[in-house]
Amino acid sequence: MRRRLGPGFWIAACWILLVLAGALLADLLPIARYDETLAGPPRSGPSADHPFGTDGLGRDVFSRVVHGSRVSLGVGIGAVLLGLAIGGPLGILAGYRRRATDAIIMAFNDVALAFPSLVFALAVVAFAGASLRNVLIVLGVLGVPAWTRLIRGATLSFADREFVLAARVLGVRDSRILWREIMPNVAVPAASYAFIGMAVVVVAEGSLAFLGLSVQAPTPTWGGLINEGRTLMDDAPHVVLAPSLVMFLTVLSFNLVGDRLRALTDVRHSGLEPVRQAPPAAPAAPVHAVGDSLLQVEDLRTHFVTERGLVKAVDGVSFTLERGRTLAIVGESGSGKSMLIRSILGLLPGSGVDRSGNVYLDGDDLTRRTPEEMRHILGPRLGTVFQDPMTALNPVRTIGAQLAEPLRVHLGMNRKQAREEAARLLAQVGIPDPGRMLGRYPHQLSGGMRQRVTIAMALSCGPDVLFADEPTTALDVTIQDQVLRLLHRLREERHMAVVLVSHDLAVVREWADEVIVMYAGKVVERGPTAEIFGRTRMPYTEALLQAAPRLTDPAHHRLRVIPGRPPDLVDLPSGCAFQPRCAHARDRCVTEAPELLEDGHLYACWYPTGSPISEGAESRGR
């Protein structure tokens, strides 16, 4: 927590405390009285006696600024508390009760927001009298709509969460749900907004004072001091600059504290986003022969340094792929399977990620291509489909515009040609009435239709390899079947290669020719599909197969349980990453990471299943 707030937060907090202490102790400080004229020579600049100099009447500017902070901070804190006291309950009520309560409160709120608050404050203060109390009440009440809106929004975002539902199922009373489940979550955004609100109120009070409509002279206020100093700008600019600077720093501090507190409520960081570049992952010199395969990946590594440590997301992956074949990359979350294809395509998130190894497309090393050169390969030669068709399409552009774009950019078609080709592509992926579909937006389509559109986009420039990252995970099973059939048909028609990333072994078994099983960024087993599923060698693959329920098993069949949890990528176990969860693990597995061994297919295990060594050996008994 301390580290995430950053040094700026603490400096700002100290400044606020300093100003607050000055305001509280102003009378006790050994400084001139704020209204004592000729405390020094008029209009004299900063000196040891008068750190901020003196004003036109020879009054000590420092003393006046310190005393002025009483009004600013008093009104700031008071008005914010008043706004919160009224707006907070209203917001919680509106957000939690919904329906009529919400509608009424928010209708009032909308109207209240329509008033020009500063103008309104001016009028009210002018007619009701410019006292500290009136200024505080007016600014506090004017802050109510913003508070209501904020607290309502925060409440709404939590009132729908399952943990609130769960509490209601437990029979918890509404009052307790509000207090125990919702309030703690709303508290942080509220605290954040309290500081930003104080900044707003301090500025508003300053504005009133600047116009002469806040607390009246002789009590000094920051806005009033700045207004007075304006007339002396020519020969004594310090009189206006000193209160300006103090006010600026105070407002800045309130904003900064509020901003940092708000950052705390942002989506929790996984601690796994890259923060800086990792040292080069491996020596670059290629020691492999470049074959004439369509796609050849050699010793690909992708490492990055995160807040928690070095993550080896992809750690030495090699494979080859020919036209007309489907390679499946299978693994659980965190295995690095998605990162692998992003790494092959060079689509790594921003900076801070280090990639090494080689990717050859028809013998041409893609890792040596500049980003500019890569752009002529992505699209025309390598096509990509992602998991969630909902997020894979730009929500504000029509299907036609998105589909025609690569055709115009890469193939140089004109608008009309691109449109015709787009309609043809849509028909090819089985979308009815393609002409009308071109004018539609993604949200008007079902999930299955959207995925067909993204496939059409990936295929638009006739790629040689199609990368499909969990293309059916977000779809229903009957639609999944349709999409997988479509991919297979298109592969045949276009004589492409397909790289299919999936967590679903059944999908892989049915649709892939070759399989790579990944665990913690490494390939643990690789080979033809029939081999992998027929003669599984790596205990992880075997366990995964037995952990998935099958329709042909009897009901209440006990599934094989893989103990423990998927590995923590910044804190991998020594030796084989799977050994802590492996039933066959022995001492060597802890001390030495297994290389990929060849026996019909490749596997990385010292004691593979189905071999006499492991059958006869006693497991370590974990």
Could you say which residues in the range 363-382 bind other proteins, by CB under 8 A? 374-380, 382
Task: Kindly state whether residue 388 participates in binding other proteins, applying the rule CB under 8 A.
Answer: yes
DSSP 54: B
What's the closest the beta carbon of residue 170 comes to other proteins, in angstroms?
4
Neighbour count for residue 192 (Cβ, 10 Å):
20
Answer for which of 201, 305, 317, 392 binds other proteins (CB under 8 A) is: 392
Task: Kindly state whether residue 421 participates in binding other proteins, applying the rule CB under 8 A.
Answer: no
Answer for which of 7, 30, 283, 395 binds other proteins (CB under 8 A) is: 395
Task: Kindly state whether residue 532 participates in binding other proteins, applying the rule CB under 8 A.
Answer: no
Q: Considering only 22-30, 357-365, 386-394, 601-609, which stretch makes contact with other proteins by CB under 8 A?
A: 386-394
Task: Kindly state whether residue 172 participates in binding other proteins, applying the rule CB under 8 A.
Answer: yes
Output 341 or 604, the one with its CB closest to other proteins: 341
Task: Kindly state whether residue 233 participates in binding other proteins, applying the rule CB under 8 A.
Answer: yes
- Residue 331 in tokens: 């693994």
- Residue 143 in tokens: 């802050």
The structure tokens 């059916």 sit at: 472
> CB of 29 within 8 A of CB of 22?
yes
For 204, the 3-state DSSP assignment is helix
- Residue 418 in tokens: 């691109």
Task: Kindly state whether residue 454 participates in binding other proteins, applying the rule CB under 8 A.
Answer: yes
Helix axes 61-97, 144-159, angle to 10 degrees: 40
Task: Kindly state whether residue 434 participates in binding other proteins, applying the rule CB under 8 A.
Answer: no
> CB of 479 within 8 A of CB of 452?
no
Answer for which of 23, 106, 147, 181 binds other proteins (CB under 8 A) is: 181
Task: Kindly state whether residue 20 participates in binding other proteins, applying the rule CB under 8 A.
Answer: no
What φ, ψ does residue 232 adopt, rounded to 5°?
Answer: -100, 10
What's the closest the beta carbon of residue 184 comes to other proteins, in angstroms?
4
Answer for which of 102, 405, 421, 513 binds other proteins (CB under 8 A) is: 405
What's the closest the beta carbon of residue 618 comes to other proteins, in angstroms?
24
Measured distance CA(399)–CA(539) in Å, rounded: 46
Task: Kindly state whether residue 38 participates in binding other proteins, applying the rule CB under 8 A.
Answer: no
Site for other proteins (CB under 8 A): how many residues? 142
What's the closest the beta carbon of residue 498 comes to other proteins, in angstroms?
15
Q: Considering only 53-61, 252-260, 305-313, 314-322, which stretch makes contact with other proteins by CB under 8 A?
A: 252-260
Task: Kindly state whether residue 404 participates in binding other proteins, applying the rule CB under 8 A.
Answer: no
| Angle, CA 131 vertex, CA 129 and CA 133 arms, to 5° | 115
> CB of 254 within 8 A of CB of 170?
no
Answer for which of 106, 137, 194, 345 binds other proteins (CB under 8 A) is: 345
Answer for which of 21, 25, 57, 166 binds other proteins (CB under 8 A) is: 166
Task: Kindly state whether residue 148 participates in binding other proteins, applying the rule CB under 8 A.
Answer: no
- How crowded is the C-beta side of 198, counted as CA atoms within 13 Å? 28
Output 414 or 552, the one with its CB closest to other proteins: 552
| Among 86, 206, 187, 65, CA closest to 137 | 86
Task: Kindly state whether residue 223 participates in binding other proteins, applying the rule CB under 8 A.
Answer: yes
What's the closest the beta carbon of residue 588 comes to other proteins, in angstroms?
23
Task: Kindly state whether residue 263 participates in binding other proteins, applying the rule CB under 8 A.
Answer: no
What's the closest the beta carbon of residue 600 comes to other proteins, in angstroms?
21
Site map 95..134 versus other proteins, x via CB under 8 A? ---------------xx-xxxxxxxx-xxx-xxx------
Q: Considering only 45-53, 93-101, 237-245, 611-619, which stretch makes contact with other proteins by CB under 8 A?
A: 237-245
Task: Kindly state whether residue 7 participates in binding other proteins, applying the rule CB under 8 A.
Answer: no
Task: Kindly state whether residue 449 participates in binding other proteins, applying the rule CB under 8 A.
Answer: yes
Task: Kindly state whether residue 437 participates in binding other proteins, applying the rule CB under 8 A.
Answer: no
- Residue 77 in tokens: 């804190």
Measured distance CA(532)–CA(515) in Å, rounded: 7
- Asked if residue 218 has a cis previous peptide bond (ω within 30° of 0), the answer is yes
> CB of 238 within 8 A of CB of 52?
yes
Neighbour count for residue 395 (Cβ, 10 Å):
9
For residue 111, what are the CA distances in angstroms to 97, 106, 617? 21, 9, 78
Strands 514-519, 326-330: pairing is parallel
| Among 580, 494, 581, 505, CA closest to 536 | 505
What's the closest the beta carbon of residue 189 comes to other proteins, in angstroms?
12
Output 71 or 213, the one with its CB closest to other proteins: 213
Please, which of residues 41-80 interact with other proteins by CB under 8 A? none
Output 171 or 612, the one with its CB closest to other proteins: 171
Please, which of residues 272-311 interact with other proteins by CB under 8 A? none
For residue 119, what are the CA distances in angstroms to 201, 242, 611? 14, 27, 85
Answer for which of 33, 133, 168, 415 binds other proteins (CB under 8 A) is: 168
Measured distance CA(102)–CA(118) in Å, rounded: 27
Output 39 or 92, the one with its CB closest to other proteins: 92
Q: Considering only 17-25, 443-451, 490-498, 595-603, which stretch makes contact with other proteins by CB under 8 A?
A: 443-451
Q: Which amino acid is at 291?
A: G
Compute the residue count for the chain: 622
Please, which of residues 535-594 interact with other proteins by CB under 8 A? 543-544, 547-563, 565-566
Q: Considering only 33-41, 61-69, 79-87, 346-354, which stretch makes contact with other proteins by CB under 8 A?
A: 346-354
| Among 207, 75, 221, 89, CA closest to 137 | 75
User: Quick one: 534 exposed, middle or buried, by C-beta within 10 A (0-12, 13-18, 19+)?
Assistant: exposed
Output 23 or 240, the one with its CB closest to other proteins: 240
Measured distance CA(327)–CA(324) in Å, rounded: 10
Measured distance CA(86)–CA(109) in Å, rounded: 12
Answer for which of 478, 495, 571, 618 binds other proteins (CB under 8 A) is: 478
Answer for which of 131, 231, 391, 619 binds other proteins (CB under 8 A) is: 391
For residue 14, what are the CA distances in angstroms to 80, 130, 196, 444? 20, 31, 16, 53
Site map 309..338 versus other proteins, x via CB under 8 A? -----------------------xx-----
Which conformational region is residue 340 in: left (phi greater than 0), alpha (psi within -120 to 50 degrees), or beta? alpha
Output 1 or 285, the one with its CB closest to other proteins: 1
> CB of 604 within 8 A of CB of 576?
yes
> CB of 272 within 8 A of CB of 308?
yes
What's the closest the beta carbon of residue 50 comes to other proteins, in angstroms?
21
What ranges make up the beta strands (E) of 78-164?
none
Site map 489..528 versus other proteins, x via CB under 8 A? --------------xxxxx-xxx-----------------
Task: Kindly state whether residue 457 participates in binding other proteins, applying the rule CB under 8 A.
Answer: yes
